[in-house]
Copies of this chain bind each other. A is one copy, B any other.
Amino acid sequence: MKDLKRFFEPRAVAVIGASSTPHKPGNDVIRNMLANGYTGKIFPVNPKGGEILGIRAFRSIQDLPEGLDLAIIILPAKANPAAVRECAARGIEAVVLAAGGFSEVDEQGRALQEELLRAIKETGIRALGPNTSGHSSMPHHFTSSFFPLGRIPRGPISYIAQTGNFATHTMRYISTEEHFGVARVVGLGNKLDIDENDILEYYATDPETKAIFVYLESFKNPKRFMKIAGEVTRSKPVILLKGGGTVEGAKAAVAHTAAMASDDRLIDAALKQAGVVRIYEYSHLVLAAKVLACMPLPKGNRVSFLAPSGAQLVCITDLCRRTLELDVPEVEETTRRRLQEISPSFIRMRNPVDIWPAASVRGMLEAYREGMEAVLKDPNIDAVVPILLLTDETGVPPLDFLVDLSRKYPDKPILTTFTGEKKHREAAQAFLEPGGVPTFPLIEEPFKVLSILAACRRARDRSDLRRIEKD
C-alpha cells in the first residue's frame, strides 16, 4: 500500500511521450497538471528534446535524473513493455499506462498484455492500467489524466472507476456543472497490477477521503474486496455501481472491459455483509456524491418534507414507503403545534408539511424557514427536503436561511428541490450549492438519494452492532 503514495503524492513525475502539439494526450496531460497547480517537478520525455509548455524536455528515459516518483507512459501499446523496463532501470517504481489496445481488444492485444505483465513482474514496478484514463489527486494538485479536464475542484469524495468515461467526461461534468469536489479519482483500466482493492485500501486510511464511490464491471479478488470494504464501511460510506449484474448487461461488459460475469446474487449477499451499498443508476454516482460532499449520513431513514402541493405530499410519501425504504413519520405534538402556529387554521398541519397555505399568508420565506426549523428540531426526523415553489410571482426570495439552517443543524441533511419555472430554479441552485446545500431538478431525486444514504447508515449501524456483539 505504501507504494501508492507515489501515485497520489508524487514529488517528481516523468511524462514519457510528452508532446508540444496542443490537443495531443502527451500535451493535455501536462496542461492538466499546470491547470491544477501541481507543485512537483515535471519531466517531459520526447525524442526531439526542446521545451514543452515551457518545461525542458528530455530525449529519452535514460536521460532522466534519478529519484522520480512516477512516470506517465503515453506511448503506443507495443512500446509499453520496453518503456516499463527502461523506467524501472532508471529507478522509477510507479507507472501510469495510458495506452489501450491490449486484452480489451483482440488476441494480439492479449499477447502484448502478457508481455507487459512480464515486464511489470520482473521489474517489481507498480502499474496503473494499461488502458487507464488516468488518476487525479486533488489534495496534491496532481492528475495523470490526458483528457482535457481543466481545474478539478477539490473535495472529500473519492472515486474508483473501471471505465474510461468516469475519469474523463463525468469528471468534466462534475467540474463544470456541479459544485462539489473530489479527493482522489482513479480510472482502473485493465487492472494488470493495481486493482480496486489496492485503491480501496489506500482510500480507507486517506484522511482526505470521506466517502467512496466505486464503478466496477468485475472483481479482481472479491474476497479481498469484501474484507477491505468491511473495515472501510465502519467509518466511510462505500457506494458501488456494479455493471453487468444481468445476463445482457454482462455481455455488454465483456465487450467493454472483457469483464467476466459473476453470480450477482452471491455478490449481492457479500456486499451487504461488507456494508457496501449498491446503486443501480450511473447518474447516482454524481447525485449521491454531491450530498456526501457537504453533509453527513442521516442518523436514520426518517424524512420530513415540505411541499406546496397536496399531490406532491401524497405521491412522494407513497414513493418513500413503496420503494425507497424511507419513513415519513408523525412529528411530536410540540412540532405539530409550531407548524400549526405558522399556518391558517383550516389546514391540520402534520408531516409531510403542506406549506402552501402558510406561504400564502406569511410569504414563502417565513413559511419555509419556520416550517423547516420546526421539523429539524424534531427528534423523530433525520433529514429534511424542502420542495421550493419558485415562480414569476414568488421570484427567488433570499435563500440564506437554507444555508443557515444546514449549518445550525449539521447532523440533519437538507436536500432541496423545486417546482416552478426553470430560470428561478437555476438561480436558486447557483446560490445554494456553493453554500453547501445540494439541489436536485426533479422532485423525486432527493428522496432517491436519501434512500441510498439511509442504506449507508443502516450498513454502518449493522457493522457497529456486530462489533459490540463480538466484544
Chain A contact patch, size range: 35 or more
Cα A252 to Cα B349 with chains together (Å): 11
Which of A308, A318, A321, A389 gathers most chain B CB within 10 Å? A318
Task: Flag whether A419 is at the interface (Cβ < 8 A).
Answer: yes
Closest to A257 in B: B310
Q: Judging by beta carbons under 8 Å apart, are B354 and A248 in contact?
A: no
Q: Judging by beta carbons under 8 Å apart, are A252 and B317 in contact?
A: yes
Cα A437 to Cα B322 with chains together (Å): 33
Task: Flag whether A323 is at the interface (Cβ < 8 A).
Answer: yes
Per-residue interface assignment for chain A, residues 349 to 371, with 1 indicating a CB less than 8 Å from any chain B CB and 0 otherwise: 01010100000000000000000
Task: Flag whether A422 is at the interface (Cβ < 8 A).
Answer: yes
- Within 8 Å by CB of A309, from B169, B281, B393, lies B169
- Within 8 Å by CB of A256, from B311, B322, B323, B419, lies B311
Cα A176 to Cα B251 with chains together (Å): 42
Known: A169-B420, A391-B172. A311 touches B323 (CB 8 A): no
Q: Judging by beta carbons under 8 Å apart, are A318 and B280 in contact?
A: yes
Closest to A148 in B: B393
Task: Flag whether A421 is at the interface (Cβ < 8 A).
Answer: yes
Closest to A245 in B: B318
- By a CB distance below 8 angstroms, the chain B residues around A322 are 245-246, 249, 280
User: How many whole Å from A82's CB to the nearest CB in chain B?
Assistant: 22
Cα A281 to Cα B246 with chains together (Å): 25
Dominant SS among interface residues on chain A: mixed
Q: Judging by beta carbons under 8 Å apart, are B391 and A352 in contact?
A: no
- By a CB distance below 8 angstroms, the chain B residues around A177 are 421-422
Cα A148 to Cα B420 with chains together (Å): 13
Q: Judging by beta carbons under 8 Å apart, are B315 and A241 in contact?
A: yes
Q: Judging by beta carbons under 8 Å apart, are A310 and B165 in contact?
A: yes
Task: Flag whether A444 is at the interface (Cβ < 8 A).
Answer: yes
Q: Judging by beta carbons under 8 Å apart, are B215 and A253 in contact?
A: no
Task: Flag whether A89 is at the interface (Cβ < 8 A).
Answer: no
- Within 8 Å by CB of A246, from B162, B252, B321, lies B321
Task: Flag whether A450 is at the interface (Cβ < 8 A).
Answer: no
Closest to A286 in B: B442
Q: Judging by beta carbons under 8 Å apart, are A309 and B164 in contact?
A: yes
- Per the 8 Å Cβ criterion, residues 98-124 of A in contact with B are 101, 105-106
Known: A245-B318, A246-B321, A322-B280. A255 touches B348 (CB 8 A): yes
Known: A419-B173, A442-B283. A314 touches B391 (CB 8 A): no
Q: Judging by beta carbons under 8 Å apart, are A101 and B315 in contact?
A: no
Q: Judging by beta carbons under 8 Å apart, are B444 and A281 in contact?
A: yes
- By a CB distance below 8 angstroms, the chain B residues around A195 are none
Task: Flag whether A243 is at the interface (Cβ < 8 A).
Answer: yes
User: How many whole Å from A25's CB to the nearest CB in chain B?
Assistant: 13
Cα A357 to Cα B322 with chains together (Å): 42
Nearest 7 CB-CB pairs, A to B? A256-B310, A163-B311, A165-B309, A249-B318, A243-B314, A246-B321, A249-B317
Binding site for B on A (CB under 8 A): 101, 105-106, 148, 161-166, 169-170, 172-173, 176-177, 215, 217, 241, 243-249, 251-253, 255-257, 280-283, 308-323, 328, 346-348, 350, 352, 354, 389, 391, 393, 419-422, 441-444
